[in-house]
Structure 1
């Protein structure tokens, strides 16, 4: 990994959704590429209509008129119909809705079925798509994840392709209006068929149980990620700042295939780890070692029996499913009292959370939530040892506490990946991750990162002057 100064620190520059929300190999073969913006053309849609002429489980053709001239039926509006189509796909195995292609029952001539939505300066394609998203937000609960793709038509106008992935939050319901009430209706795209049908009471209950089970499995996965990572640090006999992070929507293949390994190593080669804003750490000299489902970045050490992977000052696990465990060793420790610098604590938390979110965006896209466990880990240190902060950086403290290593703090924070678009957002994530850690020592809040993702230079103990201020200015980070 290349060494460079704070002015080149990772700032999370990415497109709004760099990866496809959903992967369907059959549709991708027909369309000639992934289900994402700029990968689908009008000719691709024509190929789709040729290969799948009628509505199927995974494809639904829609006239664009309903997006321009919505129905005003007070009992079941076109807005609720749009929400129904989306919820039914999210409750099933996913689907795409293609607006601008007429139903096969009107005509069998493909060119006559291709009726793109006309461009309108009073309500352009972005306004139409935003209106569709608003309808889904207002009439679907919980709101499914959707991607809206614009496909230009050669003769003018455009098509809208709405991509809906199978959802871990199913069942999704449509809120209707009836006698002043808002009853919920649940729908499903019948597997292997073309029709949408209501879910039975038993099926609704079954899906709620599956949702709870899925949430518990994700929680257990995150906890296991933390425990396994900390176990790898045991031989070091040191204190560590560590982060375990996992997306709610992991990559479909969690195996370390040759392609996944190449993607991990290419991503790592283009980034600095750790990414210290305060210049307190240099770049790690770790090497990549393949392991089940992941690539481990650590040192090559002499074990007495030859060279082998071994933990030194940093440790990084990059998982093929988009998860990560990363840790940075703190100052030397003793069997009694150990001190941690508050500046380095916050700097390390920011570095580790930024690294994890950057990998998730690269591997799985900016979809859904990510859960992050951040904490202090004592690897191979006696339980009777204690840890304290050695300063507060000018922030209020209720008497610095000594924390036994058996009760070192760690806490979980949940991040909406779609909301992370700038360096300021990443600093706000670091603030939320670090807040419970510093409070465990009696400090009110992190000293130099603010809750809104700004930098409070007056509370820094370490100084990194011009370079840090220039970085904040260049990345639109508020300075206090």
Structure 2
């Protein structure tokens, strides 16, 4: 889910997506389960009258403007402690209504995730408990609409404080806006630093690379100790690329507030290196398998678009998984993909290597006879693209991951004169016909296993 909290997960006995009805019922009478700045209980949530709609908007905006939190609907409370399970409506229609209320009465719209937890008793069909998870928002402050004496509607800004809601003053609202814009600038600086630190540590190279970086909008805090390192090492050494069963990383070492994972031959064709930081940020540099050709006495490297998309999908998944699962980051992340003819072409990259040849780079196809089929209208030494995506989409390996990769890949290939990256689509599907035979089978099987649609044309 969008919201992760070690405190709440410890209290509930696991992550929100795994909590059962009995886990929640066991909160009744638990003195440690009282309402707090990140946890609230409500007996019901009709959200039908104007006052009820305003109350729901206020509750979710207050969490989003502070540290995030969870609303447990269908639980009565007494003096802040859960006192009795009072099953509520968890139908799809009711959940759609709640989403509409939040969208209508908060600005910017607060991002929430709702998880119905049905009562296992067959007689309680359509009833149960409802979890509404609200992550801390990088778009804070969020306002809710309220009736004012001097205007039909006014914007007010709630914030969760201890077990109640406070209202931000004008100065606090101005400060919150300043923090929002400063945070965006901070993320840009963070991404630049993460990329620079990896690039200067790469082995000297004169071949094309794909560099993928990620910075979560709400940072995490990865624990680094012996036990955590052993776990991370085992996980990373079992990393394979999308649709492939070959492990690509051969070593993991501890660095300053990070793990560095690497694999392949530093002097050879295949080499990958990634920095995975404690705050959930990460950067992965992947060498691209290329061919060389000569046209009009000009020699150049070229790679197939599906190779770039394949590496991009794989890197996004690994970086997203690190941010969410290892660092505990939540919500959205800024991701950037960069395609370079060699690392020194990156603006913050290493110095020009004393290696030859240093060739231009193109994107072309190989036809069934093994000959190059031109695609690019021009070579390009540096192309980049950027997007904001949900960490859940990257980690869960479904259509959302493909959509993010498509958005990034389209901008990359446009620098080479191509309109779009044919192997993937903006609506999260794959075009098997646009994948070369070495990759097509594995990627198609992966897509079918993850609910990713396949286009026949």
Per the normalisation by structure 1, the TM-score is: 0.74
> Residue 323 and residue 85 in structure 1: after superposition, are their counterparts in 2 closer, same or farther (change >3 A)?
same
SS in 2 for 1:78: helix
Instruction: Tell me the alpha carbon deviations over residues 325-383 of structure 1, each in whole angstroms, 9 at most, x when there is no partner.
Output: 2122234899x953121233333223322332343443367942222111124235469
Kindly indicate whether the alpha-carbon contact (under 8 Å) linking 1:42 and 1:154 is maintained by their aligned counterparts in 2.
no
With 310-319 and 236-245 compared, the bigger mean Cα shift is at: 310-319
> Residue 381 and residue 436 in structure 1: after superposition, are their counterparts in 2 closer, same or farther (change >3 A)?
farther
Distance 1:450 1:52 in 2: 45
Structure 2 residue 104 is the aligned partner of structure 1 residue 138: yes
Kindly indicate whether the alpha-carbon contact (under 8 Å) linking 1:397 and 1:444 is maintained by their aligned counterparts in 2.
no
Kindly indicate whether the alpha-carbon contact (under 8 Å) linking 1:239 and 1:333 is maintained by their aligned counterparts in 2.
no
Per-residue deviation, 1:32: 4.9
Kindly indicate whether the alpha-carbon contact (under 8 Å) linking 2:332 and 2:388 is maintained by their aligned counterparts in 1.
yes
| Alignment match of 2:3 (pick from 11, 21, 24) | 21
Instruction: Tell me the alpha carbon deviations over residues 21-80 of structure 1, each in whole angstroms, 9 at most, x when there is no partner.
Output: 13253x5565555555416724532144x3466x5544433222xx24x452xxx42011
SS in 2 for 1:77: helix
Structure 2 residue 184 is the aligned partner of structure 1 residue 184: no
Kindly indicate whether the alpha-carbon contact (under 8 Å) linking 1:372 and 1:414 is maintained by their aligned counterparts in 2.
yes
Structure 2 residue 384 is the aligned partner of structure 1 residue 410: yes
Distance 1:89 1:236 in 2: 48
Per-residue deviation, 1:255: 4.7
| Alignment match of 1:80 (pick from 37, 54, 75) | 54
| Alignment match of 1:89 (pick from 63, 75, 80) | 63
Distance 1:393 1:150 in 2: 50
SS in 2 for 1:79: helix
> Residue 44 and residue 411 in structure 1: after superposition, are their counterparts in 2 closer, same or farther (change >3 A)?
same
| Alignment match of 1:318 (pick from 276, 287, 298) | 276
Distance 1:460 1:162 in 2: 41
> Residue 413 and residue 61 in structure 1: after superposition, are their counterparts in 2 closer, same or farther (change >3 A)?
closer
Per-residue deviation, 1:83: 0.9
SS in 2 for 1:238: coil
Higher relative contact order (CA 8 A, sep 6+): 1
State the match for 2:144 in structure 1. Answer: 174
Matching of residues 351-390 of structure 1 within 5 Å? 351-363=314-326, 367-377=330-340, 378-379=342-343, 381=352, 385-389=358-362
Per-residue deviation, 1:206: 0.6
> Residue 453 and residue 381 in structure 1: after superposition, are their counterparts in 2 closer, same or farther (change >3 A)?
farther
Distance 1:424 1:96 in 2: 27
Structure 2, gaps ≥5 residues long = 344-350, 368-372
Distance 1:169 1:29 in 2: 27
State the match for 2:251 in structure 1. Answer: 287
SS in 2 for 1:349: helix
SS in 2 for 1:409: strand
Per-residue deviation, 1:246: 2.3
| Bigger fraction of residues in strand | 2
Kindly indicate whether the alpha-carbon contact (under 8 Å) linking 2:74 and 2:87 is maintained by their aligned counterparts in 1.
yes
- How many aligned positions are there? 428
Matching of residues 320-339 of structure 1 within 5 Å? 320-330=278-288, 331=290, 337-339=299-301
Structure 1, gaps ≥5 residues long = 1-16, 304-309
State the match for 1:250 in structure 2. Answer: 219
State the match for 1:342 in structure 2. Answer: 304
RMSD: 4.0
